[in-house]
Structure 1
């Protein structure tokens, strides 16, 4: 007799799961990959070490946590909240202040390190604030409107921010701080930079993406989404840009002259349920994705094979992150369900 494999088979055999009792805002592994953190809507951060079933909670923000990223240091994380605070969470659960911004929310955080230089950035109102590895403020970069997303390029030489009517790209070490302005009318709500640093892509309020090729100024328009794109992630080699916001994982080709004039590849779709979150694998051409019904899958881009990771029924997937070596996947949902799944060879 044939046996039906449960959609939760991978979760049940390779995962550790917990109910965190609050909206999972973001998930991130530290740079060693030995621990993951889940930032929650109640202002706490849960720290999950590899193999541990007990995930202790740390009180971080007086209000909701809004953003989370690995620290620029080997261990720990940085987080922003609606208490106007930029915080550091140590691997031991210790919490320290990096900066406070009066009454303005810290809605976006990002970090970079190449093993020597360390950078932490945060978006607060119209400004991006940059800090070095000693928490000294390097500079404050002003934008024409509220910053809606920030990203460092792969070398840490530039930082880009999305905002109304486009995006701005700044050289971190510049003494003059004059940005390259990327203009396109409308509300831009998030940003990504390709691994080679030549493409900047923003999500837009009008259910579309807009991009700029920096080498020649070419505009790139990617539309057709039924919903807003919340998550964008380039594959390791930069060939594909994976995006949420449709009833499938939408992958735009950034090779062979694409994405303009080329249709996107769509994976794991067809059931009328929106993809709400995703994360590309750090080493392989694969992407993990979560949907509004709680389904989590792992898709191989080249073969189009889909591996169910977790079944439906746990609320919309709201957070997702890979460990740096790609062996562990963390994800969380709006209902407070969270899990870490081990994909290492057994």
Structure 2
């Protein structure tokens, strides 16, 4: 592993800490926002701290004479992330507890990893690989492994079986209240009850889905489809609304905290759907500019009307919702952007890219420091 040479963009060189890490398959911030984890293709976890003494916020200066803002260069090299061995690849991760992560691998091993890299084993070997891990809050996470979905509590890390499945699992998403768990398979989506409250099991025949996302109010389950765009499932009415005409598979979805906006990848410009009309028919909000390269990842800023976009050619852009304004923070680089994650305070954006997709041996990862006063 070695620190990457400066990218073409001067802005990227000033704002980013970035590293060559081999194939990077997933990333997540922990609940505290002070640590980010990158799941690597060799079965290890790379941990980077936000406690950087030379982050861009520290190096930001505003001139008293003319009010012009500048960011000074670093005086020391970027420190490398800590590398923590986990299991046989691929590994999955999700934030768990007040700080740290829940991480699982292909042998079925399941561990918690603290921000300092300390590992505590929960399951040493299971009947099948860990296929998905999703968190609903600091205290609850769901793990799919060996045909079984189990619910884990952060307090004592005890597990309770929720649902069984026999088909290859493509996507998983628990509802915000942790009362339902949505499972995506080839040709259908199942919504299973996660509580013993008599809730019905629901099934929907749809094209293969590799990403599922609940609106924060729990009313709508959005499914990004390999073919046919997006499906919106209203849990109460069981109505399915299809939003077709995407030129590429939709592999990334993100809801705003108030459930009014849904950002989607899979097109040559950002497609943001607004649910403000009240007639049940979402409308698009023009955001950013049309290009010639498909968007692979979208992430809405947690506190501001901003959208981070990752492209197939490695570009990362910050766009303002409802405007054409864009800020390019990473120029074209080897490998499609595979993941973007905002820290809870919105001042850091983690990213990763791999040449050849998941499981690739060549990849990069990093963190962009984006102080809030950049976007006033």
Q: Which TM-score band applies after superposition, normalised by the shorter structure?
A: 0.7 to 0.9
Q: Is the 8 A contact 1:24 1:319 kept in 2?
A: no
Deviations 1:259-302 (A, max 9, x none): 74x55345445332111122211122222111111100111113
- Partner residue of 2:94? 69
**Hey, what's the Cα distance between the residues in 1 that align with 2:105 and 2:200?**
27
TM-score, scaled to structure 2: 0.81
Q: Is the 8 A contact 2:306 2:321 kept in 1?
A: yes
Deviations 1:172-221 (A, max 9, x none): 33255x54304124323221100111001112221421111123232110
Find out whether 1:246 has 2:272 as its counterpart: no
Find out whether 1:120 has 2:121 as its counterpart: no
**Hey, what's the Cα distance between the residues in 2 that align with 1:77 and 1:140?**
21
Task: Flag structure 1 segments of 5+ consecutive residues without an equivalent.
Answer: 1-5
**Hey, what's the Cα distance between the residues in 2 that align with 1:321 and 1:166?**
28
Q: Is the 8 A contact 1:148 1:188 kept in 2?
A: yes
Q: What's the secondary structure of 2:196's corresponding residue?
A: coil
Match 1:140 to one of 162, 180, 194: 162
Q: Is the 8 A contact 1:295 1:312 kept in 2?
A: yes
Deviations 1:206-252 (A, max 9, x none): 14211111232321101112221111111122122111122222222
Q: What's the secondary structure of 1:186's corresponding residue?
A: coil
Q: Is the 8 A contact 2:43 2:90 kept in 1?
A: yes
Change beyond 3 A, Cα 1:182–1:99: same
The 10-residue stretch of structure 1 (140-149 or 215-224) with the greater mean CA deviation from structure 2? 140-149
Match 1:84 to one of 99, 108, 112: 108
Deviations 1:74-102 (A, max 9, x none): 11112232222232211121223223564
**Hey, what's the Cα distance between the residues in 1 that align with 2:81 and 2:181?**
33
**Hey, what's the Cα distance between the residues in 1 that align with 2:190 and 2:149?**
11
Find out whether 1:14 has 2:39 as its counterpart: no
**Hey, what's the Cα distance between the residues in 1 that align with 2:284 and 2:146?**
34
| Pairing of 1:67-216 with structure 2 (within 5 A) | 67-71=92-96, 73-99=97-123, 102=126, 104-113=128-137, 118-124=139-145, 126-133=147-154, 134-143=156-165, 145-174=167-196, 179-216=200-237
The 10-residue stretch of structure 1 (34-43 or 123-132) with the greater mean CA deviation from structure 2? 123-132
**Hey, what's the Cα distance between the residues in 1 that align with 2:124 and 2:141?**
14
Q: Which has the larger radius of gyration?
A: 2
- Partner residue of 2:306? 286
**Hey, what's the Cα distance between the residues in 1 that align with 2:235 and 2:88?**
40
Q: Compute the displacement of 1:48 (Å).
A: 0.5
Q: Compute the displacement of 1:144 (Å).
A: 6.1
Q: What's the secondary structure of 1:17's corresponding residue?
A: strand
Q: Is the 8 A contact 1:131 1:139 kept in 2?
A: no
Change beyond 3 A, Cα 1:39–1:254: same
- How many residue pairs get matched? 333
Q: What's the secondary structure of 2:344's corresponding residue?
A: coil
Find out whether 1:53 has 2:79 as its counterpart: yes
The 10-residue stretch of structure 1 (123-132 or 11-20) with the greater mean CA deviation from structure 2? 123-132
Task: Flag structure 2 segments of 5+ consecutive residues without an equivalent.
Answer: 1-6, 53-77, 355-361
- Partner residue of 1:336? 363
- Partner residue of 2:68? none
Q: Compute the displacement of 1:325 (Å).
A: 1.2
